[in-house]
Amino acid sequence: MTAEYVIIGSGSAGSAIAYRLAEAGKSVVVIEQGGSDFGPFIQMPAALSYPMNMSVYDWGFQSEPEPYLDGRRLATPRGKVIGGSSSINGMVYVRGHARDYDTWEEMGAQGWSYADVLPYFQRMETWHGEADGAPSGDPAYRGKDGPLHISRGPRKNPLFNAFIKAGQQAGYPVTSDYNGQAQEGFGAMEATIFKGVRWSAANAYLRPALKTGLVKLVRGFARRVVIEDGQAVGVEIERGGVVEVIRASAEVIVAASSINSPKILMLSGIGDAAALREHGIEVVADRPGVGANLQDHLEIYMQFQAKKPITLYKYWNLWGKALIGAQWLFTGKGLGASNQFEACAFIRSKAGVDYPDIEYHFLPIAVRYDGKAAAGGHGFQVHVGPMRSKSRGSVTLRSADPKDAPKILFNYMSDPSDWEDFRACVRLTREVFAQPAMKEHVKAEIQPGTGVQSDAELDAFLKEHVESAYHPCGTCRMGRADDPMAVVDEECRVIGVAGLRVADSSIFPQVTNGNLNGPSIMTGEKAADHILGRRLAKSNLQPVINENWRVSQR
């Protein structure tokens, strides 16, 4: 089988690239190991805790024992399904902050400043504003007719607006659109949900691309990129126990996630030469940056008991879940149509920080990602964590066998500033929940609990309870061609190998503010233009930065 372009991975970036290449009349094969995304566990937004805990949809990766977290192994879910991680994620839509992209450019990713990427965010979106259609936000900054539908939840539960009001009472701004002009502040959260259905990369991009007849989906396990005389010419896959090669007449594009993309490059002979030789792999390109620079967001759940029985806990039983599921199946509406992340905030941890470095997701129930409800019945929680950890980890090969999962070591909390930032998260959160708007709802603090106050007590709690927000990135970093630790150049081309690109969250030089699905799709959109030799014109819209950032925290 041959196509002009062969893409490994049907996730956020891979699906977007396939769509744009087909739109330009190119023939494409998309290789995906995972199966169908059909069914309510994936398509019903409220069921989000299920797919990321199901081995049928998830690669099942785990970190190595983390040395700064008492040797805990943290789950690292990655989508093994049509649509990739966009089919198992929390559907939260955050573009990242304008300064994130300006920082990328400063780090060597020429042409990836905010002015460069904003037009791609606009091209990919159909933005629906408020659930009730009321005008809000910054329409000039948003897209009107892209494949990806972005909506806001109805915020019918009074706790959502109480959280936003409490932020205001604590002296923070309210932002009408954190994906628009001003990220900083409290406000409504946005989601990749359309007409009550998860609007994954599969629904937005891959299905329309397949309908053109130019894109073919091949179910198989990508083992390595086939490179002949320094040129990528195809992908070796295994399906039905048979190893075969799908050839690419133009280019191979690796879009397999920040965990699997570096693994595939290394198995193909691209990576740290000494490490590859140890595994008996012939070196094609000595790029020590492959697998390095691994970053993520950590968070904790701060949980509170509720005074009033208005949380979602009343549905946290078999009968309640069945009711929600039935209503969603028959009408596409109700609680099943929301991911329940309908209010959020982006704030700065201290004076001297120029743009937000803390993110909040508010949830009107006290429950974990794996679906375990907190003790204490009616409650609510906020997920909070620092956005720009200085800790860096790596993805390395366990062996030369493609079937072996790679070694993933995040080195979480290895930088002392991480502890300081997390303590600030806890203390600033307690202050918000002590404001009148939330105080009337708070019966008691479940986690960490009011007995946890000193730095030492907080650190002990953090060591035991921090969780990944599932935003790994950075392992095939984009940079200047003369940067020895860069893996791809500013056009996503693998340095030292012709006809090969990487386009997914692995190329991020630095993790962006917030959730990574939006930036990953944008990366696919922009990479497609680089492949096609075109570029959208830069935007001249400017972000709003708090003018007092040097002297005040809010």
Q: Is 511 annotated as a binding residue?
A: no
How far apart are the C-alpha atoms of 365 and 85, rounded to whole Å?
24
**Closest alpha carbon to 541 in 178, 179, 141, 145:** 141
How far apart are the C-alpha atoms of 175 and 188, rounded to whole Å?
8
How far apart are the C-alpha atoms of 227 and 530, rounded to whole Å?
21
- Token pair 């490059």 in the structure block, residue: 265
Which residue is catalytic, options 297, 378, 471, 530? 471
147-175 CB burial, b ≥16 within 10 A, e <16: bbbbbbbbbebebbbbbbbbbbebebbeb
Give the angle 514-264-84 at the CA atoms, nearest 5°: 45
The total of other beta-carbon atoms located within 10 Å of residue 455's CB is 10
Question: Is residue 297 annotated as part of the catalytic site, yes or no?
Answer: no
How far apart are the C-alpha atoms of 122 and 237, rounded to whole Å?
35
CB under 8 Å to 265, separation ≥6 — which residues?
Answer: 225, 254, 271, 287, 290, 476, 487, 494, 502
DSSP 366-429: -B-TTSPBPTTSSEEEEEEEES-----BEEE-S-S-TTSPPEEE--TT-SHHHHHHHHHHHHHH
How far apart are the C-alpha atoms of 486 and 55, rounded to whole Å?
33
Give the angle 293-299-303 at the CA atoms, nearest 5°: 175
CB under 8 Å to 421, separation ≥6 — which residues?
Answer: 349, 357, 358, 386, 389
Collapsed DSSP state (helix, strand, coil) of residue 471: coil
Q: Is 92 annotated as a binding residue?
A: yes
The total of other beta-carbon atoms located within 10 Å of residue 551's CB is 8
How far apart are the C-alpha atoms of 359 and 191, rounded to whole Å?
15
**Closest alpha carbon to 294 in 512, 480, 506:** 506
How far apart are the C-alpha atoms of 22 and 10, rounded to whole Å?
14
Query: Residue 471 has which token pair?
Result: 């935003």
How far apart are the C-alpha atoms of 527 and 109, rounded to whole Å?
13
Q: Is 81 annotated as a binding residue?
A: yes
Asked if omega into 406 is within 30° of 0 (cis), the reply is: no
How far apart are the C-alpha atoms of 460 and 452, rounded to whole Å?
9
Query: Residue 115 has which token pair?
Result: 């002015």
How far apart are the C-alpha atoms of 358 and 369, rounded to whole Å?
20
Chain-centroid distance of CA 458 in Å reads 27
Residues forming the active site: 471
| Residues annotated in a binding site | 81, 89-92
| Residues annotated in a binding site for FAD | 81, 89-92
